[in-house]
Amino acid sequence: MRAIRHFLQLKDFSRGELEYLFERTRWIKEKFKRYERYWPLADRTLVMIFEKASTRTRLSFEAGMQQLGGSAIYLNTRDSQLGRGEPVEDAAEVISRMSDLVMIRTFEQSIIERFAAHSRVPVINGLTNQYHPCQILADIYTYIDLRGSIEGRTVAWIGDANNVCHTWLQAATLFGFALHVSTPPGYEVRPDRAGIVDASHLKTFADPYEAARGADLVTTDVWTSMGFEAEDAVRKKAFERWQVNAQIMKAAKSDALFMHCLPAHRGEEVAAEVIDGPQSVVWEEAENRLHTQKALMEYLLLGRVE
């Protein structure tokens, strides 16, 4: 019997495993584009637990499981016992006896780790306050698909040092690229929070233009993530110099890509001329969530199928 593997943060997988997922992503995506049926997960069930709202995460996992021949069940805290204080450990015991795979989108990383510790089936992190590994899977695949290897490249993160930024930092260590981060004072990236011991791939900048200078990829996220809404006014004032605009993109390489995990606020963290401009690949990123997660689910349930 294969040991249960979970995907709770990006560094749970080796670089070799992630590169295998990207190869599978390409193959699965091409079959999907040719309308060729591929049902390796027939009769398998994915349970999706949402404690935070989502559009892309629910759509990509639910559609992805269906396209692989399986089915998906949506649970949230309003309509299940999870919202009435059922212990995470008890929920894990029950849900994992009735399903083959669980995806959780929640708050603290400790919640998903407690669930995984009591689960009989693989658990996927659909987002926590600390990490967003499925998003970075799609982002790295998108870069490789459009530009080739990301090793040795420079990625500039402009804005809040949040869960997406922390996962980019894990990716920099795994794939060997430089991560330039620029945040307002008081919102700096913390390698220890990202779970990184070796931060040699990280370079921080007070000036966002300097962070973007010579970058191959510029990326950002909203200034106020879910759970920080009470700080919205303060954050808008603190982050106003950290908007990715045309001047920031000019500091990067002429063929640099722009990415955003979405949803985006035009006029805040990104100017409309950038996200709607020719260097933006945000729609490709969003689409690739579907295909990278299909490769992930296939790997967690079937292992290598090559």
* 3-class DSSP string for 139-180: HHHHHHHHHCCCCCCEEEEECCCCHHHHHHHHHHHHHCCEEE
Set 105, 180, 235, 291: catalytic member: 105
Closest CA to 170 of 191, 187, 143, 153: 191
Task: Indicate if 261 belongs to the active site.
Answer: yes
SS3 track for the chain? CCCCCCECCHHHCCHHHHHHHHHHHHHHHHHHHCCCCCCCCCCCEEEEEECCCCCHHHHHHHHHHHHCCCEEEEEECCCCHHHHCCCHHHHHHHHHHCCCEEEEECCCHHHHHHHHHCCCCCEEEEECCCCCHHHHHHHHHHHHHHHCCCCCCEEEEECCCCHHHHHHHHHHHHHCCEEEEECCCCCCCCCCCCCCCCCCCEEEECCHHHHHCCCCEEEECCCCCCCCHHHHHHHHHHCCCCCECHHHHHHCCCCCEEEECCCCCECCCECHHHHCCCCECHHHHHHHHHHHHHHHHHHHHHCCCC
Q: Which of 166, 216, 221, 291 is catalytic?
A: 221
The residue from 67, 261, 279, 293 that is catalytic is 261
Is 207 part of the annotated catalytic residue set?
A: no
Q: Which of 166, 235, 289, 291 is catalytic?
A: 289
Q: Which amino acid is at 67?
A: Q
Q: Catalytic pick from 135, 170, 279, 293?
A: 135
Q: Peptide bond preceding 263: is omega within 30 degrees of 0, i.e. cis?
A: yes
Choose, from 6, 44, 58, 132, the residue flagged as catalytic.
Answer: 132
Catalytic: 120? no
Known active-site residue 235? no
Q: What token pair was written down for 83?
A: 């919202």
- What residues are labeled active site? 105, 132, 135, 221, 261, 289
